[in-house]
């Protein structure tokens, strides 16, 4: 009997596929049955080798060895998953395996994961491609009925190789270049560094912003408060104000009522979903991706890593049934409009359509899902139904008064027909009402009363003028980036410099932007600040220092966006992969040859350390460093590590405040410590002394002298 070997990206996906195609016999690292063997990768099993694999001299970072540009690329098997690679290799070599099915995620990275394993195993057997946008049983079944020749995706594989190798060339060379020149590790990335540059630039604009005074005049007329345009000069505003105080009436010179339609929103791409989840729920981009990926693997939503916001024509027939089931699931009893034509556009769907819920949601136990998944699924479902809905109708009325040769304006907006907004608000529990718009006037009595006042007015007629006054304000700077606004900036980066027909404008892809942001935070270039729901992405001193010394070609969002477009062109067969790689290599070679170290960079790279107390060993200052609070005297061994085993055993951390207290008093009171043995909590005092080796020693001191879980010492913390 002959078999087809199906290789998925994850064990959970492999199990779903195996169930549909009848491979129900479990073996070590795979499932077998019905003419199929189904196995899996565990993420990337094969990765690019480090520079020292090409030459031992690269073990040390030296400027003279740059640039490192491999002519033949070396790959290595990831040590942690070597066993699974061996299983796949043996399965490929089985004589009864006559062909393979590539069932990794249907995208650039999924293609790379499979091909690297296939090539590393030196497999020559033919393979077909499973390309699906949903993990529903029917979608899997249909996908196996329509397998495509694997060679169809050769260009996709070349684009994936270009992305991987370009990232390696830029990362390895630029990181070594700047680290050797500036004497400390400075991580540089092809997408990561331009993203950091946008954050640093935004903060520079905010810090350098100088507020300027602005002045506006307001009047009350016929029960309506209206505002003038801005005055930059206070004297000019005061002159008009004095004239207003002498006037008795103001003339209505314009009444412009209009009904404006607010079209239904588009479906979600991953970036659009991440932005909304950050704005409404406070989720990070990575959290949203993780929740959506889990929902996908549970067959509750379609493939998440998509740039598209539309569906394809062949999906039109299933939309009404899906919409009705989703509305019923969420308890919406009114009639649900279904304008399927609003969400269908074949020309705007490439690899995958927009993210939508699957029909499986109708039978799912919603309450059994984790809270985060519930919220993301609600957003996706609400967006589907809203996108199919009627337009909302907004009643807007603009009114203008003229007095003292000055125009005063008032505007009111009111939702007359909720349309798509009604079902969206129902599902996601929005507290927004029909007046969810910024008012451009100061009338606090509500739109209904203002509309009534306007309705009583006649154009051209004069009305008594009341309460003229001047309001003084200041211009405001741009806001700090949230993940919502940063994702938007990443998506739009370089758009002004790129042709209108360019398919992808921006840096990174929907699949990689979240990981880029997380890496910036993880390696200490960016930190999240703010409250629980709204967190801002702020550059650290380290991040600002890196961008300050970075040349334009490395930190330019526009150049990186151009590279992303060329990668897409490689994927479409419209640009040669060799030409793309040649451009990357030329850029790095030129950078190594021409870059000059910035003067006074030492001050920038090594800022003054914050002093938090006096060293108990030598009397010098203790300063905060990256991993702990240590004596400024390099010859002194005293340090309080931030990752401190003694404190971690108590369920506590060595915070800055704790370190300050220990240095000042030799002890610190702790509440709510937790015993690992019993799970009980207790309050205690940690007393610090130092031993003969200048190392901190800690012990617990209870108020009544009873050691509830004994005294503890730390030979070294």
3-state secondary structure 490-519: HHHCCHHHCCCCCCCCCCCCCCCHHHHHHH
Close Cβ partners of 56 (under 8 Å, ≥ 6 residues apart): none
Evaluated on CA atoms 528, 529, 530, 536, the torsion sign reads negative
Q: Which of 118, 268, 303, 536 is catalytic?
A: 303
Q: How far does CA 395 lie from the centroid of its chain? A: 36
Q: Active-site residue 3, yes or no?
A: no
Q: Is the Cβ–Cβ distance between 507 and 518 less than 8 Å?
A: no
Omega cis (within 30) before 460: no
Sheet holding 621-624, edge to edge: 611-614, 621-624, 628-631, 639-641
Q: Is the Cβ–Cβ distance between 290 and 298 less than 8 Å?
A: no
> Considering just the CA atoms, what is the radius of gyration of the chain in Å?
32
Evaluated on CA atoms 507, 511, 514, 520, the torsion sign reads negative
Close Cβ partners of 39 (under 8 Å, ≥ 6 residues apart): 5, 6, 7, 8, 14, 29, 30, 31, 84, 87, 88, 91
Strand 462-474 relative to strand 213-221, pairing: antiparallel
User: Tokens at residue 7, please?
Assistant: 């290789």
Among 624, 608, 605, which residue's Cα sits nearest to residue 543? 605
For residue 28, the tally of other CB atoms under 10 A from its CB is 6
Kind and range of the H or E element at 403?
A: strand 392-403
User: How many CA atoms, within 13 angstroms, populate the side-chain half-sphere of residue 21?
Assistant: 31
The CA distance from 534 to 517, in Å, is 16
The CA distance from 545 to 602, in Å, is 10
How is 639-670 classified by DSSP, letter by letter?
A: EEESS-HHHHHTT----HHHHHHHHHHSEEEE
Which residue do the tokens 């790279």 mark? Answer: 605
Strand 392-403 relative to strand 611-614, pairing: unpaired
The residues that are catalytic are: 303
């Amino acid at each position: 009997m002959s078999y087809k070997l199906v290789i998925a990206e994850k064990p959970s996906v492999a199990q779903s596929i195996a169930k549909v195609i009848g491979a129900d016999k479990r073996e070590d690292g795979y499932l077998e049955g019905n003419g199929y063997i189904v196995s899996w990768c565990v993420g990337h099993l094969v990765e690019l080798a480090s520079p020292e694999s090409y030459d031992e001299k690269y073990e040390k970072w030296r400027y003279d060895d740059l640039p490192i540009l491999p002519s033949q690329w070396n790959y290595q098997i990831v040590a942690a998953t070597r066993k699974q690679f061996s299983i796949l290799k043996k399965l490929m070599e089985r004589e009864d395996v006559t062909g393979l099915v590539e069932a990794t995620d249907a995208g650039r990275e999924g293609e790379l994961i499979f091909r690297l394993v296939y090539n590393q195993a030196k497999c020559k057997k033919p393979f077909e491609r499973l390309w699906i946008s949903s993990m529903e049983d029917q979608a899997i079944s249909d996908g196996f009925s329509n397998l495509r020749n694997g060679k169809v995706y050769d260009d996709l594989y070349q684009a994936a190789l270009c992305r991987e190798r370009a990232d390696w060339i830029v990362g390895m060379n630029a990181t070594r270049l700047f680290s050797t020149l500036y004497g400390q590790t400075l991580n540089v990335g092809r997408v990561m560094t331009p993203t950091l540059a946008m954050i640093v630039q935004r903060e520079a604009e905010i810090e350098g912003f100088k507020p300027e005074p602005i002045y506006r005049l307001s009047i009350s007329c016929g029960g309506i408060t209206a505002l003038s345009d801005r005055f930059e000069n206070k004297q000019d505003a005061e002159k008009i104000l004095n004239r207003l105080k002498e006037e008795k009436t103001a003339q209505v010179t314009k009444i412009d009522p209009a009904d404006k339609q607010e079209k239904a929103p588009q479906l979600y791409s991953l970036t659009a979903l991440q932005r909304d989840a950050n704005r409404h729920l406070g989720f990070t981009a990575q959290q949203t991706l993780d929740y959506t990926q889990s929902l996908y693997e549970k067959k509750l939503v379609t493939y998440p890593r998509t740039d598209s916001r539309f569906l394809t024509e062949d999906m039109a027939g299933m939309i009404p049934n899906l919409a009705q089931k989703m509305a019923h699931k969420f308890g919406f009893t009114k009639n649900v409009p279904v304008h399927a034509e609003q969400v269908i556009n074949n020309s705007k769907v490439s690899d995958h359509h927009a993210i939508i819920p699957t029909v499986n949601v109708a039978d799912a136990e919603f309450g059994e899902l984790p809270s985060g998944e519930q919220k993301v699924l609600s957003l996706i479902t609400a967006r589907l139904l809203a996108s199919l809905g009627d337009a909302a109708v907004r009643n807007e009325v603009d009114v203008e008064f003229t007095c003292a040769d000055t125009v005063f304006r008032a505007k009111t907006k009111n939702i007359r027909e909720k349309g798509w907004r009604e079902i969206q608000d129902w599902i996601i529990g929005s507290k927004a009402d029909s007046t969810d718009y910024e008012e451009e006037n100061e009338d606090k009595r509500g739109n209904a009363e203002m509309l009534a006042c306007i309705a009583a007015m006649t154009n051209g007629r004069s009305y008594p003028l009341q309460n003229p006054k001047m309001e003084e304000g200041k211009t405001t700077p741009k806001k700090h980036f949230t993940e919502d606004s940063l994702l938007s900036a990443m998506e739009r980066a370089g758009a002004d410099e790129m042709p209108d027909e360019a398919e992808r404008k921006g840096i990174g892809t929907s699949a990689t932007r979240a990981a880029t942001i997380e890496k910036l935070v993880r390696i200490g270039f960016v930190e999240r600040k703010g409250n629980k729901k709204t967190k801002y992405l702020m550059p650290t001193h380290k991040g600002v220092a890196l961008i300050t010394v970075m040349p334009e070609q490395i930190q330019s969002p526009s150049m990186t966006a151009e590279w992303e477009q060329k990668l897409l062109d490689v994927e479409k067969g419209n640009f040669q992969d060799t030409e793309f790689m040649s451009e990357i290599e030329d850029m790095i070679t030129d950078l190594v040859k021409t870059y000059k170290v910035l003067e006074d960079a030492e001050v920038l790279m090594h800022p003054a350390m914050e002093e938090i107390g006096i060293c108990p060993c030598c009397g010098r200052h203790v300063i905060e460093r990256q991993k702990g609070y240590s004596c400024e005297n390099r010859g002194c061994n005293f340090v309080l590590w931030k990752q401190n085993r003694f404190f971690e055993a108590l369920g506590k951390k060595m915070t800055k405040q704790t370190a300050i207290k220990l240095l000042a008093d030799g002890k610190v009171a702790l509440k709510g410590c937790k015993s690992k043995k019993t799970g009980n909590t207790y309050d205690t005092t940690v007393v610090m002394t130092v031993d003969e080796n200048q190392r901190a020693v800690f012990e617990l001191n209870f108020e009544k002298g009873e050691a509830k879980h004994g005294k503890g010492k730390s030979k070294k913390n």
